[in-house]
């Protein structure tokens, strides 16, 4: 074998975890070089008796032309492996450019020794978060607690929600990243708890995987479902057993926006009514099973009731809004999204009026 082999490896995989063709090229090479003094593969290669010469081209870029000439000379006589740096590597690209125009030309082969699996960059997020939180990192990050970060989790979630509403996929990618930051931040904080209470991002991921497998028996087991509706019924039933819940309303976060809260409670009622062991009485189930109407007479009746009893205004308006949510559900409309859309349109009309 003769020529120059440019070996590219993944930064996230353990050192030494290379393809067989990569190991063959490394062991057969007359010389192995790299321009990255901190290359993650160096230790593993030297432990495997593969000597690597480190050329610090970053300190003196003028050496690139000389190195290219040397590489060309060695490559024409035998074989040379250039170990490319991780991610963007301008030194490697500069060396390749110089070798390409050499006279006589040098045969160059690109060899991929390992590739990052999907999700590999999540490891970088965890590493950066650890650096920010560790001694010598960011003073602001060091002061944060689960409680102090709570508002940011809510804020970033709403910003991601708005990106979905406006169908801005570029913004959504950024905002989902901000939500991911909050997840990793909370996991990093939990690492600092006492041994009996601590957990980390791997525990979060492991719990999520177990939950997804457990709640999808029609995918990972032998359960057969007729469609998406039955999937939701099964999900709810499995969740009740997992959580040990005794009430249909258990586990509904009461801090969420009112329309979303009403829709969630109604969905719980409908699911319970649809299940074989539904525990809701018929009079409680009926308003939430679809076909709900909101005739003008209901609004008029509410206004009459408030006229007779002004103190009942809050309750009457609440009942009407709750009925509107039920109407939205019967039409397969997200009441929260519908109202936000109406508010957005109203904002746009206000903007047209000027100052």
DSSP string, 190-224: HTTS-TTT---HHHHHHHHHHHHHHT-HHHHSS--
| Distance separating alpha carbons of residues 28 and 162, to the nearest angstrom | 56
In the numeric block, which tokens belong to residue 85?
A: 């740096």
| Distance separating alpha carbons of residues 97 and 90, to the nearest angstrom | 10
Separation of CA 141 from chain center: 21
Select from 77, 140, 92, 82 the least CA-distant residue to 113.
Answer: 82
Residue 146 burial by Cβ neighbours in a 10 Å radius (0-12, 13-18, 19+): exposed
| Distance separating alpha carbons of residues 275 and 236, to the nearest angstrom | 10
pLDDT at 251 > cutoff 80:
no
Contact 23, 41 (CB under 8 A): no
Select from 94, 91, 123 the least CA-distant residue to 10.
Answer: 123
pLDDT, position 127: 92
Beta bridge partners, 278, equal none
Select from 226, 9, 13, 205 the least CA-distant residue to 110.
Answer: 9
pLDDT, position 349: 82
pLDDT at 352 > cutoff 80:
no
H or E stretch including 6? strand 3-8
User: Between 3.40.50.2300, 1.10.3720.10, 3.40.50.300, 1.10.287.1080, what CATH number should domain 121-214 receive?
Assistant: 1.10.287.1080
Least confident of 65-69, 174-178, 348-352: 65-69
User: Between 3.40.309.10, 3.40.1010.10, 3.40.50.300, 3.30.750.24, what CATH number should domain 3-112 receive?
Assistant: 3.40.1010.10
How do residues 216-233 score in pLDDT, each as one tens digit?
999 998 888 888 888 888
- The domain spans of the chain are 3-112, 121-214, 281-352
| Distance separating alpha carbons of residues 254 and 38, to the nearest angstrom | 51
pLDDT at 350 > cutoff 80:
no
**Position with higher pLDDT, 19 vs 316:** 19
């Amino acid at each position: 074998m003769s020529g120059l082999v440019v070996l590219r490896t993944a930064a996230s995989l353990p050192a030494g975890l290379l393809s067989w063709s990569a190991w063959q090229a490394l062991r057969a090479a007359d010389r192995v070089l790299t321009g990255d003094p901190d290359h993650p593969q160096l230790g593993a290669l030297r432990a495997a008796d593969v000597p690597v010469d480190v050329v610090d081209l970053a300190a003196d870029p003028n050496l690139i032309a000389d190195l290219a000439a040397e590489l060309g000379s060695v490559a024409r006589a035998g074989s040379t492996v250039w170990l490319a740096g991780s991610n963007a590597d301008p030194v490697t690209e500069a060396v390749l450019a110089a070798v390409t125009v050499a006279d006589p030309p040098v045969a160059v082969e690109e060899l991929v020794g390992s590739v990052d699996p999907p999700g590999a960059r999540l490891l970088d997020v965890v590493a950066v978060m650890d650096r920010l939180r560790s001694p010598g990192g960011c003073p602001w990050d060091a002061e944060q607690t689960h409680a102090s970060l709570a508002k940011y989790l809510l804020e970033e979630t709403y910003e991601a929600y708005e990106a979905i509403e406006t169908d801005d996929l570029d913004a959504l990618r950024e905002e989902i990243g901000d939500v991911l930051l909050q997840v990793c931040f909370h996991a990093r904080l939990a690492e600092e708890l006492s041994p009996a209470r601590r957990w980390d991002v791997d525990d979060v991921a492991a719990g999520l995987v177990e939950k997804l497998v457990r709640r999808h028996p029609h995918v990972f087991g032998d359960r057969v479902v007729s469609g998406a509706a039955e999937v939701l019924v099964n999900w709810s039933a499995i969740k009740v057993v997992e959580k040990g819940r005794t009430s249909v309303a258990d586990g509904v976060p009461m801090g969420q926006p009112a329309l979303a809260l009403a829709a969630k409670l109604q969905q719980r009622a409908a699911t319970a009514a649809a299940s074989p062991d539904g525990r809701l009485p018929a009079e409680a189930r009926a308003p939430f099973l679809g076909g709900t109407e909101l005739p003008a007479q209901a609004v008029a009746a509410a206004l009459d009731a408030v006229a007779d009893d002004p103190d009942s205004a809050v309750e009457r308006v609440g009942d009407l809004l709750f009925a509107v949510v039920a109407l939205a559900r019967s039409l397969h409309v997200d009441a929260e999204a519908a109202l936000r859309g109406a508010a957005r349109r109203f904002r746009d009309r206000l903007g047209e009026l000027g100052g």
